[in-house]
Structure 1
């Protein structure tokens, strides 16, 4: 990626992180530039994959009131296969490779505790999963998309 963001880009990103539907005219006014400048910068940020325009869903509003973070220990040479299998499961909303004893970490959102149990049974059938550590989320205090 060759595109280097500057302070104006950071300002645009920060404002859009708070409200993705904020009018360009309001951003321009706040950052003391023209609306045309904001439109061009926004287009560059999207084209250079620095920002992505998506609707963020509140899982609780959809009835997904239970969640868990699960650390997975996998067999030698099986990370890619397990990661691919997990990415096909609807309940999995986040997958990352980590250091340490458990090379994969996932986060799931489901309707209730029974669904967490059912997910564990489903995950247990994935070839390459040796063991796992399940951390039940009791309450979420912060979930932000602001990075600047």
Structure 2
């Protein structure tokens, strides 16, 4: 049976999106429900892969100041192979399938422009990638994990 989220679940997710370390006591107080209810809902959200609570790293604090988005054209019949190859490149932090001429898009976060160039050299060595175009991210104005 599929778990259906309701308004209480949504409210919990919204609060935890803003502060993933918020205590069950604080959550129950803000939501006007018992702590037992919050614990049970939290457990259900985790067990049903609706919610994951993780630490979000500020890449700039780690010295990762250069980002790029790379769109890729892939040889016919090789999409899954390309995805698996891309997953093995540590600097790629996001891969998605898209519509249009470039069916794969990846985002990289690295220390500097030279490392972006090195990633492009790596992509050039993957035979199933026919073509790629890169866009250097100059400034990020919004990066949120709030979906509700």
TM range (shorter): over 0.9
Cα deviation 1:43-93 (Å, max 9, x = unaligned) = 000000000122111111111100000000010111111110000110000
Aligned-partner Cα distance in 1 for 2:60–2:74: 31
Alignment correspondent of 2:65: 65
Q: Secondary structure, in 3 states, of the residue corresponding to 1:41? A: helix
Q: What is aligned with 1:39?
A: 39
SS in 2 for 1:96: strand
- Is structure 2 residue 112 aligned with structure 1 residue 134? no
Q: What is the CA-CA distance between 1:40 and the residue it aligns to? A: 0.4
RMSD of Structure 2 on Structure 1 (CA): 0.8
Cα deviations by residue, 1:6-34 (Å, 9 ceiling, x for unpaired): 00000100000000001111110010001
1:94 corresponds to:
94
What TM-score do the two structures reach when normalised by structure 2?
0.98
Question: Does the residue aligned with 1:131 lie in a helix, a strand or coil?
Answer: strand
Deviation of the 1:37 alpha carbon: 0.5
- Cα distance in 2, alignment partners of residues 25 and 81 from structure 1: 47
Give the aligned partner of residue 107 of structure 2.
107
Distance 1:34 1:64 in 2: 42
- What residue in structure 2 maps to residue 22 of structure 1? 22
Aligned length: 148
Unpaired runs of 5+ residues, structure 2, are none
Aligned mates of 2:118, 2:50 — CA distance in 1 = 37
* Displacement after TM superposition at 1:127 (Å): 1.6
CA distance in 2, matches of 1:76, 1:48: 35
Partner of 2:120: 120
Which structure 1 segments of 5+ residues have no match? none
What does residue range 78-89 of structure 1 map to in structure 2 within 5 Å?
78-89=78-89
